[in-house]
Structure 1
Amino acid sequence: MTQNDYFEFVEIWSQVAEVYNKQPSDGALNLIFNALQRFDLEQIKQGLTAHINDPKHGDFAPKPADIVRHIEGDGDSRALAAWSKVEQAIRTVGPYESVVFDDPRTMAAVDDMGGWIKLCEVTEKELQFKGNEFVKRFMGYLSRPPEQFPAKLLGMTEASNSGEHSEFVPEPRLIGKPKLCLEVMRKGSEKKQGHMRLSDALDRVAGQLESKGDVA
């Protein structure tokens, strides 16, 4: 949503609140709007309708977490969906390109695990264990959103050319919804990475391929 959607959002949320004999204050509506602003207004409408019809939680007035759950799923499914997106990017994008995922929690979790290049180096056998680690870290960030996260996760090309040859650095690959990826880049922090020589990068890839060949 954008600020232009605010008054329509307030009207819709207030109408739903009336179903529960509630009338949120202006301050509460501002907080709710900010908490859900990353979603489209149509998603909010669908989430509110789903909440009203929810036999388990629908007896109580909706909270932002209720709407997020209906839009994105519960914590387990969201973490697994996030890892599925990461795993697919490992296989299809690989370690050379820098990447930006559309969720800051994903960015923070991958960064905590050593970064994009290191994660792409894991073998098939290790991938399942890395997935479990990612899910645990992502779940932790659901209850405690990351205060800082990288604006992008550096790949080998950017790591090896970010110094004297920055003109050869391509734009990062956006993984997920482009609009949300750009928001992650805007709010994320630019981490200063140590310069990686091209020869070192090639050696790491060669070792990775050899390791995966042994597994096969």
Structure 2
Amino acid sequence: MRPDDKPALVALVADALAYYRQPASEFTLSVWWQACQPFELEQVSKAMTVHATHPERGQFAPKVADIVRILQGTHTDRANLAWGKALDAMARVGAYTDVVFDDPAIHAVIEDVGGWPKACRTEMKDLSYLQHRFCQAYTAYIGRGAFDHPRRLMGDRSPDHEYERKGLPVPKPAIVGDPKLCALVYQGGKSNGKTPITFASLGALTALALPHRRPGNDDMIEVTPDRAEGTS
């Protein structure tokens, strides 16, 4: 939704609440505007009608959660749909090809369950367990809102630098879903996975965990220089 849609959204919400004889305070309208920005004004308007005509929920004034539920579905619905998309790609693309989905949560979840090749090679008897893990993790990620994810799911192939060293083009990834959204997922991801991994000596970790204050200055923190283990 564009910034210039705000007056129309405010009027829409105010009219909807007036239908239920509910006040539209400035705070209420602010919450509605923040929550509805990811959607189009027409989508919100149609969702209002769906809510109002619902035989049970339509008896009560719409809340933001009611409209978002209509537009996005429940977390469980989204997780099951995402699993269906991932499972279809596992069968049609396979373990040897890189994949970029149009949903960053799928990338984060697949990395958590062991990576793309491992997911593709799941035996039939273990698929129900993988689905359970996938849906639980997916629900957790979309509930957080913001999270890190790998920019692509790597297939079981040689690293990019091996192709470049031999003067060969890097294999193209399979694009699963909306190409424009896939591009955004790729651009917003991390090249080396979603969780940074570094190495440090135990001495450095101890120094970082237990910082020492400089004498006479409570506002300054001094970190003990790293030393090799076993030295005094």
TM over 0.5: yes
Distance 1:130 1:66, change over 3 A: same
**Structure 1: distance between partners of 2:14 and 2:174:** 40
Aligned-residue CA RMSD (Å):
2.8
Output one character per residue of 1:147-184: Cα deviation in whole Å (capped at 9) or x when no partner.
21222222234xx2412425622443232233332332
The code of the aligned residue for 1:163 comes to H
Cross-structure match for 2:48: 48
Cross-structure match for 2:19: 19
- Within 5 Å, give how 1:100-179 maps onto structure 2: 100-157=100-157, 160-166=158-164, 168-179=169-180
Answer with 128-137 or 43-52: which moved more: 43-52
Cross-structure match for 2:91: 91
**Structure 2: distance between partners of 1:13 and 1:28:** 9
**Matched residue SS, 1:156:** coil
**Structure 2: distance between partners of 1:183 and 1:8:** 28
Cross-structure match for 1:76: 76
Deviation at 1:86, TM superposition (A): 0.7
**Structure 2: distance between partners of 1:76 and 1:110:** 17
Contact 2:150 2:193 in 1 (8 A): no
**Matched residue SS, 2:180:** helix
Deviation at 1:4, TM superposition (A): 5.6
**Which one has a larger percent helix, Structure 1 or Structure 2?**
1
Q: Is there any run of 5+ residues in structure 2 with no aligned partner, and where?
A: 195-232
Cross-structure match for 2:197: none
Runs of 4+ in 1 over 6 A off after TM superposition: none
The code of the aligned residue for 2:160 comes to S
**Matched residue SS, 1:163:** helix
Cross-structure match for 1:186: 187
Q: Which is bigger in relative contact order (C-alpha 8 A, separation at least 6)?
A: 1
Distance 1:49 1:190, change over 3 A: farther
The code of the aligned residue for 1:18 comes to A
- Within 5 Å, give how 1:52-63 maps onto structure 2: 52-58=52-58, 59-63=60-64
The code of the aligned residue for 2:76 comes to D
**Matched residue SS, 2:80:** helix
**Structure 2: distance between partners of 1:153 and 1:61:** 40
Contact 1:108 1:146 in 2 (8 A): no
Deviation at 1:31, TM superposition (A): 5.4
The code of the aligned residue for 1:186 comes to Q
The code of the aligned residue for 2:73 comes to G
Contact 1:17 1:24 in 2 (8 A): no
**Matched residue SS, 1:110:** helix
**Structure 1: distance between partners of 2:45 and 2:170:** 41
The code of the aligned residue for 1:165 comes to Y
**Structure 2: distance between partners of 1:172 and 1:4:** 38
Distance 1:4 1:53, change over 3 A: same
Distance 1:137 1:61, change over 3 A: same
**Structure 2: distance between partners of 1:130 and 1:184:** 23
